[in-house]
């Protein structure tokens, strides 16, 4: 009976994966419909934000200008990243593009915005600095399949605790299960303000930041249409930059910066 149940479950998931699989990789010519994924990452993008938030809106607008029909899909981060490599999705509509492990597998479009990644602790933590050499014997909470550099992941001073969501990292930190978490301070604060109404947690980012990240759409190096999709996107990006559309999108979502890759 157990074997029969396992077989049914495997068959079910196989059907789901096949139904969702993108057709982009199987076409001879560059397709029009593009499936773009990312995780729920407010305040930058989330399914319950206006037009999906800054990064979903920004990338979708440029893709439409480039002649594509984009579909925005929010799924857990690891599933999005691995799915984009296996053909489940055509591309990611947002990804940190300064990470060496990302650069091995993905090509990147023009930049959408800039974020910071930091070691973050409770405000009363004795830890003061964010240098790797200062962090030894530390329990670290971080994202499964996160955008971390190889030197951080190989650091001998960490006991790693991998989770799928920011809210899990924050709760682990608040309950004393880890000493430090990694994330964008702005995103972590947003999680506390919206999803931790019962728990009073005050965070502090350790300096210097681990990295200032350039965020942009990304496409797997193995996608046969990747170069053409990037070319058309980047050309459309410049047109919308010059017309002021990209700046309007940034302001629309409550951010205040200039489009990063616009020509002077």
Q: Which residues contact 86 (CB under 8 A, 6 or more apart)?
A: none
CA distance 56 to 38: 9
Least confident range from 20-34, 119-133, 137-151, 196-210: namely 20-34
Q: Share the mean pLDDT of the chain.
A: 88
CA distance 123 to 118: 14
pLDDT, residue 199, reads 62
Q: Is the dihedral of CA 47, 51, 55, 57 positive or negative?
A: positive
Phi (first) and psi of residue 117, to 5 degrees? -115, 130
CA distance 169 to 164: 9
Least confident range from 2-16, 26-40, 61-75: namely 2-16
Given its phi and psi angles, is residue 237 left (phi above 0), alpha (psi -120 to 50 degrees) or beta?
alpha
Whether pLDDT at 10 is above 70: no
CA angle 107, 109, 111 (to 5 degrees): 125
Whether pLDDT at 5 is above 50: no
Whether pLDDT at 17 is above 70: no
pLDDT, residue 28, reads 79
Domains, the chain, ranges and CATH? Answer: 30-113+215-252 (3.40.190.10), 115-212 (3.40.190.10)
Among 22, 109, 111, 25, CA closest to 66: 109
pLDDT (mean) for 125-147? 92
CA distance 218 to 206: 29
Whether pLDDT at 84 is above 50: yes
Whether pLDDT at 70 is above 60: yes
pLDDT, residue 12, reads 36
How long is the chain? 264
- Residue 198 CA: distances (Å) to CA of 84, 98, 171, 173, 192: 37, 36, 11, 15, 10
Per-residue pLDDT band for 11 (boundaries 50, 70, 90) equals very low
pLDDT, residue 150, reads 86
pLDDT, residue 194, reads 82
Taking only the tens place, the pLDDT of each residue in 194-207 is 876 556 789 999 99
Per-residue pLDDT band for 23 (boundaries 50, 70, 90) equals low
């Amino acid at each position: 009976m157990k074997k029969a149940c396992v077989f049914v479950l495997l068959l079910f998931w196989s059907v789901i994966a096949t139904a969702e699989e993108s057709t982009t990789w199987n076409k001879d010519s560059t397709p029009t419909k593009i499936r773009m994924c990312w995780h729920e990452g407010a305040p930058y993008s989330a399914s319950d934000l206006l037009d999906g938030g800054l990064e979903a809106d920004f990338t979708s607008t440029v893709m439409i200008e480039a002649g594509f029909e984009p579909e925005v899909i929010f799924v857990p981060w690891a599933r999005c990243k691995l799915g984009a490599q296996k053909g489940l999705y055509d591309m990611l509509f947002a990804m940190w593009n300064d990470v060496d492990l990302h650069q091995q597998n993905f090509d990147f479009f023009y930049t959408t915005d800039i974020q910071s990644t930091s070691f973050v602790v409770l405000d009363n933590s004795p830890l003061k600095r964010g240098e790797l050499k200062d962090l030894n014997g530390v329990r670290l909470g971080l994202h499964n399949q996160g955008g971390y550099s190889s030197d951080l992941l190989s650091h001998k001073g960490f006991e790693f605790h991998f989770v799928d969501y920011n809210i899990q990292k924050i709760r682990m930190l608040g309950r004393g299960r880890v000493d430090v978490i990694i994330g964008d301070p702005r995103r972590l604060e947003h999680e506390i303000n919206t999803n931790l109404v019962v728990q009073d947690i005050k965070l502090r980012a350790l300096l210097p930041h681990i990295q200032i990240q350039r965020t942009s759409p990304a496409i797997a190096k193995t996608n046969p249409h990747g170069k053409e999709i990037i070319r058309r996107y980047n050309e459309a990006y410049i047109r919308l930059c010059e017309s002021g559309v990209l700046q309007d999108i940034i302001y629309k979502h409550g951010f205040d910066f200039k489009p990063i890759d616009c020509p002077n």
